[in-house]
Amino acid sequence: MRDGIPIALGYLAVGFTLGIAARDAGANAFQTFWAAALTLASAGGYAGFNVIKENGTYLEMFITMLVVNARYLLMSFALSQKLSQKTHTLHRMVLGFGVTDEIFGISSAVKGELNPFYNYGAMSLAIPAWASGAALGVIIGNALPEIVASALSVGIFGMFLAIIIPPAKQNKVIMGGVIASFVLSFVFSVLPIIKNNISSGMQVIILTVLISLILAFIFPVKEDEDAT
């Protein structure tokens, strides 16, 4: 729980901006609280509310969540290697649900085998803080003038920039992928044939899969690099 305190404080602040996005999608505070608590994903939550806002289909929602949150599968695989072989399947499932970028970070730093209750301690603070921050974003967003609420909604983009800039500065391939995603997203948003026939949620799916496949084909990660 001690290690989860700074994570919870950060989630409370960032969750507020997710609440603004949920509010724009028409969700109330109660719906937003449980959506944030059960999804437990910043980028996934924002993408999900964007699909709702654009009246996307359930299929688009499913594929969007699968693609945007795919990194959590890799994190779960990594953490499973730190668990004792005797760890019960139920513990593994709960840990898998509670994997976030930050919780994965502190869990990976634990020396030796990972005790599931270490994650439970961090999750017990992080999850309520994330969900409460999102709910507060809806409540306060409804009370604020529209121009102020719109300004606060860009806060979550600041969080995304904080996630992508550090690795982009260290890896030119990632930087190229980020730049390509910006450029192609803009192109998709202005081309009438795409803008009028493909929803924004499906555009995100297409670009994510397309750019990832192209970069993986052109710049494959060597086994020795992957091992490090």
Which of the pair, 200 or 126, is modelled with greater confidence? 126
The per-residue pLDDT for 227 is 45
pLDDT above 70 covers a percentage of the chain that reads 88
What average pLDDT does range 143-156 have in this prediction? Answer: 65
CB under 8 Å, gap of 24 or more: what pairs does 103-109 form? 103/4, 103/7, 104/75, 104/78, 104/79, 106/3, 106/4, 106/7, 107/79, 107/82, 108/78, 108/79, 108/82
Distance CA 3, CA 139 (A): 29
Q: What's the rounded mean pLDDT across residues 25-41?
A: 92
Mean local confidence (pLDDT), 75-79: 84
| Comparison of pLDDT for 178 and 70, the residue scoring more | 178
**What average pLDDT does this structure show over 120-148?**
86
Asked if the model's pLDDT at residue 228 lies above 50, the reply is: no
Which residues neighbour 130 within 8 Å (Cβ) at sequence distance 6 or greater? 8, 11, 12, 14, 15, 36, 37, 40
